[in-house]
């Protein structure tokens, strides 16, 4: 079973790459979507900082963080996070 899973994961990764994504950054939104807000808010401050997101998403940028942090307070609230995930908003800036 393991031998089948590895090629299947490689194919899935190839098909979800930038050439097949509807928008750049869709994969990053999907990557964040597997985590709940409380997990990403590692310090339980009530908001997710850029550093907390960057710990999970290695190619996150300040620009991509700004797309999620719509009120520009330097922290992503639960409402901002939920809206971003629900909308499938792009996380990277072209």
- What predicted TM-score, i.e. pTM, was given to this entire model? 0.64
Dist. CA 39–CA 44, nearest whole Å:
9
Domain 23-94 sits in CATH at: 1.10.238
pLDDT at 28 over 80: no
CA separation, residue 12 to residues 22, 63, 65, 84 (Å): 15, 27, 26, 23
How confident is the model at residue 92, as a pLDDT?
37
How confident is the model at residue 27, as a pLDDT?
65
The predicted-structure confidence for 67-94, as pLDDT tens digits, reads as follows 899 999 999 999 999 999 888 744 433 4
């Amino acid at each position: 079973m393991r031998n089948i899973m590895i090629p299947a994961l490689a194919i899935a990764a190839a098909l979800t790459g930038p050439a097949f994504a509807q928008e750049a950054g869709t994969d990053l939104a999907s990557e964040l979507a597997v985590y709940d807000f409380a997990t990403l808010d590692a310090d339980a401050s009530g908001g997710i900082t850029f550093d907390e997101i960057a710990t999970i998403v290695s190619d996150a940028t300040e620009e991509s963080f700004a797309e999620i942090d719509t009120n520009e307070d330097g922290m992503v609230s639960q409402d901002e996070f939920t809206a971003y995930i629900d909308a499938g908003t792009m996380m990277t800036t072209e």
